[in-house]
Amino acid sequence: MKQRNFLGLLVVGGLISLSAGGSLVFGKEDAVGKAPASLGPTSPKTSFYYWSWWGWEPLSHYVHSKGSVVGGVNTSSPFLSAWYDRLHEEQTARMMSDLGVNLAVTHFFKGFGLNHEQDEIQRTKQLVEAAHRCGIRVMGYCQWQTIYSNTFPEEVPDAASWVQLDEQGKYRCWGSDKKRWAPCIHCREFIDYLKRVMRVGLEEVGLDGLHFDNDYFQPCYCKRCEAAFQKWMAARYPGQCKRFGVESFDKIAQPRKLPRGGRITDPLTQAWVLFRCESLGEVNREIAEYARSVRPDVIMLNNPTHPRGFNGLQRRALWPPMIGGAMDVVFAENGNFARMSGDVLVSQIRAHKHAAAVGYRVVSTTWKQQKGKMQLPEKPEEVKLQVAEGTALNGIPGTNWALRLDDKHDGHMRIERPELREALQQYLGFAHKTEDLRKDARPVCDVAVLETFASMAYDATAAASLVQGVQEVLIRDGFPWETVFGDNMDRLKGFRSLVVAGQSYLSDSECRKIHEFVQNGGGLLLIGDNGHYDEQGRPRDKDPLADVKGDRVVRLPANLITAPAMEQAYASWVALSKSHAEIATAVQKTLGDQFSARVTGSDKVALSAYELPDGRLVVHLVNYAAPSPQEGLKLSVGPKWQKAASVKLLSPESSSALTGGATVELPPLPVYAVVVFEPQSK
């Protein structure tokens, strides 16, 4: 079969389905199918991966965007074509493998159409083969929010009927690019086409995983979505038409407007937000199950553009338990580039905490924001800090910058800057050497911060600002903490303290579990308005948590979290409250002496702590003020670790033994260190 005719079988006036055992090949009958045995078996959620961006865009997309900068790549560069060729050379794969990278995320399907993209898909196949020879697994990019109006209809003549409609009935596009139509997730034809794309990638190209970009769901008013909403309402709220002011759900219409981050009081709008979140979650589960039916060990990754801002849940239907539950890995793509911005600590910590609560892992592909433009690391300490953060939080560390075109340096790749390459090699090398300190590591159960769907959806700005405000205190005042979602409050078992801040919407079940947590010996910190409404927005006559009492129960007013939100469209962070010391004292009171670890001496150092199956306590410390070393740090530990057999400090720069006890004095911290407490033998 000739290469140019290969994918034409898929589109003859529409789409021809593939049989379960069918084989499609690029000009020969020996499809790669899977990674060679030399790579060994993989468990996506537990394997040690170190990733690299490897050109998410096919060359045709750069040509389409000529004259602009796409993902940090200057499409007008005279070096563009030569750089693109180098991306696909085995020499490049060998170079990255030598640096410690073993997972590539590269271009596969951008939305031009399988026929139009077949030449670039062939190049992806060749890259997969070269990468496999170098021990690198490869994930293929699949665009979720784009079908190109100038090419895709050549394969699917009725593609225009797949497109989302905005509230004015116009085609919804990706941003302002009118050629990039956004397909509707309720369009069965689009989902079926996407499945065919997935099968080609996994069976014919030999991809080890799939990366779905822009995996979110903006409001859509096409006939499919209107019908799906009516059906969902009838199933979810049988016999409750009067509550929504209608006689029947048969002709109910979706709301046309969302509040800009404020409180949602309208029952229909509340239901609509939940409908969109559940719809997106169901489609994600469907495609994940399909991919695993084709290849059980496939790595599933999506990019829901989270976390950004305070109301992504309202605007883009992003609720982590729903959007990440079916995934192995989730991109955190935003402007939360690890650093100190004045007195504000900017990080991806919250993204990793969400991941741990749901059960996926995070790849940080964050960008610096400078004068409204996206920037990549320019200094070694920025590279080190990015890798350190991902390693310390049990994510997938790596690089989103190394292979991008370095137009300032004669078209080389950025990894060819010696100072950046050395920084990446040093810190990825340290991550490789210390894998035993992350294998089967369990976050310590000191402090849990509750986030409930109804509060974060229907009271977005108020709830998120309080949640992030108290999280910032936990980060800056050196506590280990984790997120607990209202969807899975059974995860509270074993935690010593629970923080409930601004969770104005709580179900009876969530209130009951908070009561039970305290009755079972847990400490509780309540900040602001909690439980004034039930999960459907109905006001309660009295505070459902008023009778929660105990020596380790503390109540604080919301106005203690007075720090202004530092939200941007592409990022989200908050300044540290001026009352942080008072809040930290309250947190410590809820813990009592039942805590694992806490670092003091600098509010620019973040701590994360884990216990290993063999009983070791592992404390990761990251200095967000790098390269300025932080001095005078003290690490306090709970009774269990005050008589440790040994205490060792490991870092990419040096290692040393420390003197144990209730408080361990630490040497100056340049960027990143791991402190390991060995338990006394029984």
Q: What is the pLDDT of residues 88-141, one digit of tens each?
A: 999 999 999 999 999 999 999 999 999 999 999 999 999 999 999 999 999 999
Supply the pLDDT for residue 10.
Answer: 38
More confident residue, 34 or 436: 436
Q: What percent of the chain has pLDDT over 70?
A: 92
Q: What is the pLDDT of residues 42-67, one digit of tens each?
A: 776 778 999 999 999 888 888 877 77
Using the predicted structure, report yes or no on whether residue 32 has a pLDDT greater than 70: no
One-letter amino acid for residue 250 of the chain: D
Q: Report the pLDDT averaged over residues 172-183.
A: 92
- Pick from 643, 637, 592, 594: which is nearest to 618 by CA? 637
Q: How confident is the model at residue 34 (pLDDT cuts 50, 70, 90)?
A: very low
Given a contact cutoff of 8 angstroms between Cβ atoms, the answer to whether 547 and 514 are in contact is no
Tell me the pairing of strands 405-406 and 663-665. unpaired
Q: Report the pLDDT averaged over residues 315-320.
A: 93
CA dist 654 → 224, 243, 259, 439 (Å): 60, 65, 52, 22
**Mean pLDDT, the chain, whole residue set:** 91
355: its two tokens: 């991941």
Supply the pLDDT for residue 261.
Answer: 60
Last residue of a domain, one of 313, 333, 353: 333
- Domain check: are 202 and 72 in the same one? yes
Last residue of a domain, one of 573, 591, 609: 591
- Pick from 41, 47, 43, 68: which is nearest to 57 by CA? 68
- Domain check: are 607 and 574 in the same one? no
CA angle (63, 68, 70) in 5-degree steps: 75
Supply the pLDDT for residue 564.
Answer: 58
Q: Is the dihedral of CA 39, 42, 48, 49 positive or negative?
A: positive
Last residue of a domain, one of 299, 333, 367: 333
Is residue 338 situated within a structural domain?
A: no
Tell the residue number behind the tokens 């910590």, with chain if given: 349
Supply the pLDDT for residue 635.
Answer: 98
Supply the pLDDT for residue 257.
Answer: 85
Using the predicted structure, report yes or no on whether residue 17 has a pLDDT greater than 60: no
Q: In terms of pTM, does the model score above 0.75?
A: yes
Packing angle, helices 267-294 and 223-236, rounded to 10? 100
Given a contact cutoff of 8 angstroms between Cβ atoms, the answer to whether 226 and 184 are in contact is no
Q: Report the pLDDT averaged over residues 571-583.
A: 91
Interior/surface letters 337-347, b for 16+ CB within 10 angstroms, e for the rest: bbbbeeebbbb
Supply the pLDDT for residue 67.
Answer: 72
Q: How far apart are CA 141 and CA 123, in angstroms?
A: 13
Q: How confident is the model at residue 681 (pLDDT cuts 50, 70, 90)?
A: confident
- Domain check: are 570 and 632 in the same one? no
Using the predicted structure, report yes or no on whether residue 454 has a pLDDT greater than 50: yes
Given a contact cutoff of 8 angstroms between Cβ atoms, the answer to whether 347 and 606 are in contact is yes
Supply the pLDDT for residue 5.
Answer: 35
Supply the pLDDT for residue 31.
Answer: 33
CATH number, residue 323: 3.20.20
10 Å CB burial of residue 188 (0-12, 13-18, 19+) is exposed
- Domain check: are 581 and 638 in the same one? no
Using the predicted structure, report yes or no on whether residue 552 has a pLDDT greater than 80: yes
Q: How confident is the model at residue 41 (pLDDT cuts 50, 70, 90)?
A: low
Using the predicted structure, report yes or no on whether residue 35 has a pLDDT greater than 50: no
523: its two tokens: 């400490």
- Domain check: are 129 and 222 in the same one? yes
- Domain check: are 662 and 514 in the same one? no
Is residue 339 situated within a structural domain?
A: no
Q: How far apart are CA 496 and CA 492, in angstroms?
A: 9
Tell the residue number behind the tokens 């976050």, with chain if given: 443
Q: Report the pLDDT averaged over residues 172-193.
A: 95
Using the predicted structure, report yes or no on whether residue 567 has a pLDDT greater than 60: no
The residue length of the chain stands at: 682
Q: How far apart are CA 357 and CA 128, in angstroms?
A: 33
- Domain check: are 565 and 673 in the same one? no
Residue 95: domain span: 3-333
Is residue 573 situated within a structural domain?
A: yes
Supply the pLDDT for residue 16.
Answer: 29
- Domain check: are 531 and 640 in the same one? no
Q: Report the pLDDT averaged over residues 189-200.
A: 98
- Can you say whether residue 661 is alpha, beta or left, with left for phi > 0 and alpha for psi between -120 and 50 degrees? left
φ, ψ for residue 655 (rounded to 5)? -140, 150
Packing angle, helices 90-99 and 80-87, rounded to 10? 70
Lowest pLDDT segment from 6-15, 331-340, 384-393: 6-15
- Pick from 460, 449, 561: which is nearest to 514 by CA? 449
Using the predicted structure, report yes or no on whether residue 1 has a pLDDT greater than 80: no
Q: How far apart are CA 52 and CA 362, in angstroms?
A: 13
160: its two tokens: 């225009």
Using the predicted structure, report yes or no on whether residue 425 has a pLDDT greater than 60: yes
Q: How far apart are CA 259 and CA 265, in angstroms?
A: 10
Given a contact cutoff of 8 angstroms between Cβ atoms, the answer to whether 563 and 464 are in contact is no
Q: How confident is the model at residue 579 (pLDDT cuts 50, 70, 90)?
A: very high
Q: How far apart are CA 453 and CA 474, in angstroms?
A: 22
CATH number, residue 651: 2.60.40.1180
Is residue 634 situated within a structural domain?
A: yes
- Domain check: are 586 and 603 in the same one? no
Is residue 378 situated within a structural domain?
A: no
Is residue 167 situated within a structural domain?
A: yes
Q: Report the pLDDT averaged over residues 269-277.
A: 96
The half-sphere exposure of 631 on its side-chain side, counting CA atoms within 13 A, is 1
Enclosing H/E stretch for 20: none
Given a contact cutoff of 8 angstroms between Cβ atoms, the answer to whether 512 and 537 are in contact is no
Q: What percent of the chain has pLDDT over 90?
A: 80
- Domain check: are 511 and 628 in the same one? no
Q: How far apart are CA 399 and CA 386, in angstroms?
A: 8
CA dist 500 → 392, 447, 532, 540, 665 (Å): 26, 11, 13, 18, 32
Is residue 419 situated within a structural domain?
A: no
368: its two tokens: 């610096």
CA angle (645, 646, 648) in 5-degree steps: 160
Q: How far apart are CA 401 and CA 383, in angstroms?
A: 9
- Domain check: are 531 and 618 in the same one? no
DSSP string, 417-463: SHHHHHHHHHHHHHHHHTGGGTTT-EE--SEEEEE-HHHHHHBHHHH
Enclosing H/E stretch for 626: none
CATH number, residue 458: 3.40.50.880
DSSP string, 280-300: HHHHHHHHHHHHHHH-TTPEE
Tell the residue number behind the tokens 């905005």, with chain if given: 166
Q: Report the pLDDT averaged over residues 509-523.
A: 97
- Domain check: are 491 and 630 in the same one? no
3 state SS of 464:
helix
Domains contained in the chain, number: 3
φ, ψ for residue 651 (rounded to 5)? -150, 165
Distance of CA 232 to the CA centre of its chain: 28
Q: Report the pLDDT averaged over residues 443-459.
A: 97
Supply the pLDDT for residue 24.
Answer: 32
One-letter amino acid for residue 369 of the chain: Q
10 Å CB burial of residue 490 (0-12, 13-18, 19+) is exposed
Is residue 96 situated within a structural domain?
A: yes
Distance of CA 470 to the CA centre of its chain: 21
Tell the residue number behind the tokens 């964050």, with chain if given: 366
Q: What is the pLDDT of residues 204-233, one digit of tens each?
A: 999 999 999 999 999 999 999 999 999 999
Supply the pLDDT for residue 47.
Answer: 87
Q: What is the pLDDT of residues 233-245, one digit of tens each?
A: 999 999 999 999 9
